[in-house]
Amino acid sequence: METFNIPATPSLMKEFLRQMGGTAVIDGGLATVLELHGADLNDPLWSAKCLLTSPHLIRSVHLDYLEAGADIIITASYQATIQGFEAKGFSREQSENLLKKSVDIALEARPSVGSYGAYLADGSEYSGCYGEAMTVNALKEFHRRRVQVLAEAGPDIIAFETVPNKIEAQAFAELLEEEHIKIPAWLTFNSKDGVNVVSGDSLLQCASIAESCKQVVAVGINCTPPRFIHDLILAIKKVTTKPIVIYPNSGERYDADRKEWVENTGVSDEDFVSYVNKWCEIGASLVGGCCRTTPNTIKAIYRALSDRSPAAPGQK
């Protein structure tokens, strides 16, 4: 399949999407498919554990998604943090090298930066409840070196995803500017009510933060039930001119106490994909899946958008 470099400005991102026929396909759940391959992810590092134990499985999942039709591939860095690796006994240098490894594994890599809650491994990325003492500055210092290391590894784009509250969105935006990060980025938020982000903060305020950051080339929603996506896209459109990126979960509910997804609470691939063209019609440009989606989901998305064709020069 063809591969594409992700441009570094919002206008060039739009040109990239025009060449793709208006939409691009993102891959789906990483941890879900790693488990299908036999990985045991019962660990605070979650999918990043495989960087230590079985990097070949990560590579295999990337290939699964490429074969399914994904244009953009996620790496195993969502829950990979320097602090998390150090808690496992690795040195700072070893921890940074593991972050770089997550980029090296995928030829067309899109490293993802999870929220502070992903590091805590207590489900707080699904609540945004970090405590009243947490500040923008504290979050910047937590993420700073991680962002530097990932940017130095030379990916096409950095995805700041599952952002659950306004202060973390602000921290990411300020970090990109303070560190003069040249790699383009996107910010995606999660919601459990179809109106606000999971902390209860205003989605409009969060998306406005992404809109105001020049290094951010797209803004959107991930790890959110499909039934909420339509209204969330319409809300985001009110405050951004940037491309909108959407990669929901399967709709299953996550039990943070048991640290597992509750079976039979989501939608089938057929139902999931039935939404896709509607999302694109109202403004989504990049579409994929998050937790509990698989290469079969992405293949179905690709087929649903199979009438895409690169636009000729000068066409819109």
Mean pLDDT of 101-125: 78
Q: How far is CA 156 from CA 33, 91, 185, 244, 285, in A?
A: 23, 27, 9, 17, 17
| 290 marked among binding-site residues | yes
User: Each residue of 184-208: pLDDT tens digit?
Assistant: 999 999 999 999 999 999 999 999 9
| 50 marked among binding-site residues | no
User: Each residue of 289-310: pLDDT tens digit?
Assistant: 999 999 999 999 999 998 665 5
Residue 1 pLDDT:
24
Q: What is the DSSP letter of 158?
A: E
Residue 155 pLDDT:
86
Q: What pTM did the predictor assign? A: 0.88
pLDDT over threshold 60, residue 19: yes
Residue 111 pLDDT:
63
Q: How far is CA 124 from CA 102, 141, 142, 198, in A?
A: 23, 19, 16, 9
Residue 281: other Cβ atoms inside 10 A: 10
Among 231, 213, 248, CA closest to 283: 231
Q: What is the DSSP letter of 124?
A: G
d(CA 109, CA 111): 6
Residues pairing with 74 in the sheet: 110
Mean pLDDT of 48-57: 91
Instruction: Identify whether the C-beta of residue 144 lies closer than 8 Å to the C-beta of residue 109.
Output: no
d(CA 279, CA 281): 5
pLDDT band at 242 (very low <50, low <70, confident <90, very high): very high
| 291 marked among binding-site residues | yes
